[in-house]
Structure 1
Amino acid sequence: MSLPTVRYLPGTRIVASLAAGALLLEDAQTSYRLDYEQLILCCGAQELLLPFPGWTLPGVTGAGALQALIKSGASVAGERVLIAGSGPLLLASAATARAAGALVSGVYEQTDRYQLINFGVGLLRWPGKLAQAFKLFSTRYRWRSHVIEAMGDRRLEAVRIRQGDAEAVIACDRLACGFGLVPNTVLAQHLGCSLEDNAVAVDRYQQTSQTGIYAAGECTGVGGSELALVEGEVAGLAATGKVEQAQALFTHRAYWQRFARHVKEHFGLRPEIRRLARVDTLICRCEDVALSVLAEEQGWNAAKLQSRCGMGACQGRICGSIARELFGWSLPEPRVPLVPARIETLMACSEKDMS
């Protein structure tokens, strides 16, 4: 009887790396060590949230987070939903909300009309994406528009929007506001992999700066599912020694890399988006640290010493990306454990095993 070639471990999280070539894993029942010779990282991306007054009110989420909530069973039927931020994810989020019975009040994109027209014309090089854009398009889509503040007492009640030079207050039950995606590099950094442009740096075979460790998908740069799939295939072939087959995919990968650059070029954030927060707006939600506390600091170490910014439950995953956008700080160094873990999981490994 032959052994299966794939071992699937659902509901499993990586807690830390141990000695070279080993990871500490944890699931709902137990923890264990996983040894490897070749490792492929497919850590995905996280949503970029930028602070504005009221962004911590109940009812305010990211655009991608709204999709995740709906797919996990949250009911939005009959609710007034407003989508805002930047990037193609806004239209996808709006479509998901409408399909779930939500009343989408509007989709507000911060990019201007000129950039959007050029983006649409450029999609002629990717006919499938052009067809997808037409399918998702909404008559409530507005350009050069962004949230100024979310309003409400104990939860969201309305949103103040700026469209061009005009402002309006729109009543709503939910606000989904996201400004694109950023690569999730936490595990890669923990393993010592180099970064480039805030993404995991890889060579043409998707190998990182660490021999035997490959990376594919959004953690190497946000580019969509098509690029992630072909990168994963290149990485898998290269990791198993099938170099010629990997090379055969380079042209197809380059095709989708051009699409990724096309999106990035036309959905860059306008300067005013980084100035939405007021002095009393929270930047670090876990530790209740406001913009005024961080504005004079020089980086993460000083911020932690003075305010505990980035030391809460999310370990800087949210406020780290925010601080990079607002202040130009480098990302915080990952700390062990990488995720909340049971004490018995940590006790199972000796100090010398932890890297």
Structure 2
Amino acid sequence: MNGVVLQHCDVLVIGAGPAGMAAAVAAATRGAAVVVIDDNPAPGGQIWRDGPGAVLPPAAHRWREALARHANIHVRSGTRVVAATMAATATATATAPRELLLEDAEGATRMRWNKLVLCTGARELLLPFPGWTLPGVTGAGGLQALVKAGLPVAGERIVVAGSGPLLLAAAATAHAAGATVLRIAEQASFASVARFGVGLVRWPGKAAQAVALGGMSVGAQGLRYRTGSRIVSAQGTAQVESVRLRQGGREVDIACDRIACGFGLVPNTQLGQLLGCALAGPGLSVDALQATSVAGIYAAGECTGFGGSERALAQGTIAGHAAVGQEREAKAHQRERARWDAFAAQLHRSFALAPELRQMPGPDTLVCRCEDVPLSALSSCTGWADAKLHRRCGMGACQGRVCGDAAQFLFGWTPPAPRPPLSPARIATLAALAALPDQGGQGDQGDARQ
């Protein structure tokens, strides 16, 4: 890498999922120079992830086409945020340049922006249980991503467990790829799931999706979707061979080849926090125009809390218009957002995690799989800092993204504060960060609008 390229844009959008695409299109209508960065090969985010095994919905194609229609939108796929430079922090003055250090396959870029829209999405909440580190155990969303990327699962026997509508979506993806879904174990009670189903009359589109997904929940041996059911353990030597589930007051063993287990989503707020944005619950705090607590920074989609693609599209549209001063156009979409905010609230109430899930890991169950830290080693720790300093919890490759979320659920610990680099980076990129003009270095000039 020969130096660091310096570029500038009017609006920088981080994330090319539904929220990011909607924000970019809305901002582009004012003629702003918009740059969208995303670490995936193509726009769509996790929900509309493309690949050899993916079947994208019409909405995904429509929004991709909308991005392509605007010559003032530059999409940079395969690009990650490494760090925020000194000028981008919340302590910078209003006139100081705001910039992020990015990296792609070609090298590093210092991207300066006038307005920033964070659409960083969410990640799966993975909770530990005996056997969860066996080959063949993935997250529910992780299974979807693997199948879309071309993982052959035809003929495999799969059990899906955890909580939320993502279980049905993951099961449907595996089923369509030729797998046999033996069981969908939902931890929420029958009454809670039934109330959620009845309430979908307010959102007819979601009701239709539920009916379509529910159809594949009935197999040759009867109903495969069981409420009030949770995973106890996974068994196997070199890989998964069976799973034990607790259904009511009894336990059942099911022979299987793969387990997909997910307990909802956790907002990706690391970049926002690094820039000084306040939190509201697990997500970034935003006002009626999707503005965060830091001037010039907006947030939309699941980094503000999980609520589905429709909510993300509405939020992204509002944020994009607001970022370029189109307040009237932004307010025109607030009713649509309110409609999907209500859906999100119902979703969270219906699939709230039961306290009994904290009993899943045993003393020898690894909580931090990167550093091989079992539950027993953490029981005497007073908090995250203590666990990190004395047990190396969170010191591995995931940097606490997996075990930090698990520890928050299990122990109530506050997750670790984000620190740069936010993603793996080349040594040359990290060296360039130390040599930026703010620290006495220099970079090559460029413009994202060229």
TM-score, normalized by length of structure 2? 0.77
Match of residue 307 from structure 1: 391
Picking from 423, 437, 441, the partner of 1:339 is 423
Residue 229 (structure 1) aligned with residue 313 (structure 2): yes
After TM superposition, the structure 1 = structure 2 runs for residues 189-338 of structure 1, keeping only pairs within 5 Å, are 189-338=273-422
Residue 105 (structure 1) aligned with residue 182 (structure 2): yes
* 2:371 counterpart SS class: coil
* 1:83 counterpart SS class: strand
Match of residue 75 from structure 2: 8
1:315 maps to amino acid: Q
1:323 maps to amino acid: A
Q: Give the distance between the partners of 1:50 and 1:111, measured in 2 at CA.
A: 15
Q: Give the distance between the partners of 1:282 and 1:132, measured in 2 at CA.
A: 36
* 2:246 counterpart SS class: strand
Q: Give the distance between the partners of 1:59 and 1:294, measured in 2 at CA.
A: 26
* Unmatched 5+ stretches in structure 2: 1-30, 34-70, 89-97, 219-223, 440-450
Q: Give the distance between the partners of 1:167 and 1:314, measured in 2 at CA.
A: 33
Match of residue 17 from structure 2: none
Match of residue 152 from structure 2: 75
Match of residue 171 from structure 2: 94
Cα deviation 1:42-81 (Å, max 9, x = unaligned): 0000001111000000000010000000001100000000
Q: Give the distance between the partners of 1:46 and 1:160, measured in 2 at CA.
A: 25
* 1:317 counterpart SS class: coil
* 1:330 counterpart SS class: coil
Q: Give the distance between the partners of 1:7 and 1:298, measured in 2 at CA.
A: 47
Query: RMSD over aligned Cα, in angstroms?
Result: 1.2
| Deviation at residue 351 of structure 1 after TM alignment | 5.9
| Deviation at residue 350 of structure 1 after TM alignment | 2.6
After TM superposition, the structure 1 = structure 2 runs for residues 127-206 of structure 1, keeping only pairs within 5 Å, are 127-137=204-214, 138-139=217-218, 140-206=224-290
Cα deviation 1:304-350 (Å, max 9, x = unaligned): 11111111111110011101101111111111111110010111123
* 1:106 counterpart SS class: strand
Q: Give the distance between the partners of 1:349 and 1:128, measured in 2 at CA.
A: 47
* Unmatched 5+ stretches in structure 1: none
Cα deviation 1:224-278 (Å, max 9, x = unaligned): 0000000000000000000011111111100000000000011011111111000
Q: Give the distance between the partners of 1:279 and 1:75, measured in 2 at CA.
A: 35
Residue 122 (structure 1) aligned with residue 221 (structure 2): no
1:62 maps to amino acid: G
* 1:36 counterpart SS class: strand
1:116 maps to amino acid: V
Cα deviation 1:271-292 (Å, max 9, x = unaligned): 1111100011000111111111
1:307 maps to amino acid: R
Residue 40 (structure 1) aligned with residue 40 (structure 2): no
Percent of residue pairs bearing the same amino acid type: 58
